[in-house]
Amino acid sequence: MYDLLLKNAVITTARESFPGSVAIKNGKIAAVGSITAAAERTVDLGGKYLIPGSLDGHVHAMSSGMGEHPVNDYYRLSIAAAFGGVTSYLSFVETRPGMSLSESAAYYKAAMGESVIDYGVHPILTGSSNEAVEEIPKLVALGCPTFKMFMTYADSMCDDATLVRAFKKAACCGALPMVHCESHPLAVAADEENAQNGRLQWSDFPKSKPPLVEAEAFARATAFAQATGCPLIVVHTTVKEALEIARRAQAADYPLYVETCPHYLTLFEDLYEREDGYRWICSPPLRTPQQADALWEGIRDGSIVLNGSDDGCYTLENKECKLKRSADGKLVPDYRKVTNGLPGIETRLPLMISEGVAKGRITMNKLVDITATSPAKLYGCYPQKGEIAVGSDADLVVVDLTKQVPLTLENLHNNMDYNVYEGIICTGFPTMTIAGGKIIVEDGVFKGSKGAGHFLERKLNPELLKRYSALRDLPEERAV
């Protein structure tokens, strides 16, 4: 007897869609296809889509930015994730005072244990520390083989020499760097010029980081990676100028993997014209609809293979805490002093369904690929995650393509005091989330439990570290 039978579904993977049922036993997928055996509970999905649970590989959980108090602990953030069809998330973690890079990773591995869904850790390699670079092999051994480096932000960036050293080390030990590509010198120069000329309005922010700021750093990181034989993920890519560089490397089968995020596909720089435009300040900045069209094209043609949320939940207090107020209590605009980042873990899949699939920009299979299957492969947990196959974890999401849901603050669970997606009505929505074989969200009700998530001890596939084409042509694996 199965534990759970999901019948009458359109089972959709990155490769194919077909009608059938999925049976679950002991937290794993036990059968797929035409199933007649009985289960403790049977749910008739009435022809709705059943897709692999979403893996959000770009989350800044428990980050308070420049402020004091994180909005959500791991428990609450993971509940919001579950409502958005996310069944695994990977959070960036900083190095803690008095701890090394690998000790910090181990600390966060324990702290994230209160999550309701499975979780993993991407350590951030901050600054230009040789000791941290030497620790990269330890991260691999800890099951955290992906780590982030910044090319901007004075407090956390790595200089070029450190990038090169880290890439060499990663290439030797099977780690995969994820790089935030923005040119620090160009951004600083623009800030200085803007400050001298009194151009610090929110609307001056995107002009301080034009496409060149991103494309130059993207080209530099790519050159460093190619020179050291290191694979690379470039996170939150926003401009066609960067995609052109990526396509050249990928055409030569270089393992350069590009991520973009829903806000760069759905929100645009005109929002910075608003009086409250600082709410949308994130880096890289929101761009134009034309750039978003180029990103959609990149998703379709396979030059972008990852979709992460870049979730950073900052309350207004955290967003504003470095800004001054005038005598009448109004904020004095200075885009340099706003905490960067937008919430997004819960809205990522709904937005990609609505703006992507429902509007005909991408197929449901492509949606699965960029939100679940390719993240699982590149972050080292496939086919445990990102697949509907016998032996894979029973992490599944039911999608109702006809359901309309306005993204109001009341409909979200992210504990925020403002909403960057107000006014957007999603067509198509995740209506049931199943994690580890248990229904954790059903009909808008949370049914999961604190601490039910497990740490994902990740291990990268060596072929994916050598050649881009491996993402497409590796034989399908079974988890058993």
Enumerate binding residues for Zn ion (CB under 5 A): 180, 310
Share of the chain residues as helix, strand and coil, in percent rounded to the nearest 5: 35, 25, 40
Select from ligand URP, Zn ion, none the partner in contact with residue 341, using the beta carbon and a kind-dependent cut-off of 5 to 8 Å.
Answer: ligand URP
Select from ligand URP, Zn ion, none the partner in contact with residue 209, using the beta carbon and a kind-dependent cut-off of 5 to 8 Å.
Answer: none
Select from ligand URP, Zn ion, none the partner in contact with residue 169, using the beta carbon and a kind-dependent cut-off of 5 to 8 Å.
Answer: none
**Shortest Å, Cβ 160 to ligand URP:** 18
Q: Which residue is nearest to Zn ion (CB)?
A: 180
Residue found by looking up tokens 């939100």 in the block: 371
**Shortest Å, Cβ 282 to Zn ion:** 8
Nearer to ligand URP by Cβ, of 157 and 362: the residue is 157
**Shortest Å, Cβ 388 to ligand URP:** 30
Nearer to ligand URP by Cβ, of 334 and 393: the residue is 334
**Shortest Å, Cβ 285 to ligand URP:** 9
Select from ligand URP, Zn ion, none the partner in contact with residue 340, using the beta carbon and a kind-dependent cut-off of 5 to 8 Å.
Answer: ligand URP
Instruction: Please confirm whether the linkage preceding 383 is cis (ω < 30° from 0).
Output: yes
- The helix or strand, by DSSP H or E, that contains position 256, with its residue range, turns out to be strand 256-260
Nearer to Zn ion by Cβ, of 65 and 380: the residue is 65
Q: Residue numbers of the site for ligand URP (CB under 6 A)?
A: 60, 180, 236, 282-283, 310, 312, 340-341
Nearer to ligand URP by Cβ, of 91 and 431: the residue is 91
Nearer to Zn ion by Cβ, of 180 and 361: the residue is 180
Which residues lie closer than 8 Å to 271 by C-beta, 6 or more apart?
277, 280, 286
Nearer to ligand URP by Cβ, of 310 and 393: the residue is 310
Cα(138)–Cα(123) distance, rounded to whole angstroms? 11
Cα(275)–Cα(273) distance, rounded to whole angstroms? 7
Nearer to ligand URP by Cβ, of 179 and 441: the residue is 179
Select from ligand URP, Zn ion, none the partner in contact with residue 377, using the beta carbon and a kind-dependent cut-off of 5 to 8 Å.
Answer: none
Nearer to ligand URP by Cβ, of 20 and 211: the residue is 211
Pairing of strands 17-25, 2-12: antiparallel
**Shortest Å, Cβ 340 to ligand URP:** 3
**Shortest Å, Cβ 236 to Zn ion:** 6
Q: At what angle do helices 289-301 and 240-251 cross, to 10 degrees?
A: 20
Report residue 265 as tokens: 């596909």
**Among the residues of 174-261, which ranges form H helices?**
184-196, 205-208, 211-228, 240-251
Name the DSSP class of 348: H
Select from ligand URP, Zn ion, none the partner in contact with residue 76, using the beta carbon and a kind-dependent cut-off of 5 to 8 Å.
Answer: none
Instruction: Please confirm whether the linkage preceding 289 is cis (ω < 30° from 0).
Output: no
Nearer to ligand URP by Cβ, of 341 and 350: the residue is 341
Bridge partner list, 405: 426
**Shortest Å, Cβ 203 to ligand URP:** 17
Nearest to 334 by CA among 441, 208, 245, 160: 208
Cα(115)–Cα(119) distance, rounded to whole angstroms? 7
Please report, as a single letter, which amino acid is at residue 233.
I
**Shortest Å, Cβ 208 to ligand URP:** 13
Cα(95)–Cα(123) distance, rounded to whole angstroms? 7
Number of H helices, E strands in the chain: 17, 17
Using CA atoms, how far residue 302 sits from 244, 284, 353, 377, in Å, is 12, 21, 18, 15
**Shortest Å, Cβ 328 to ligand URP:** 29
- The helix or strand, by DSSP H or E, that contains position 118, with its residue range, turns out to be strand 118-123
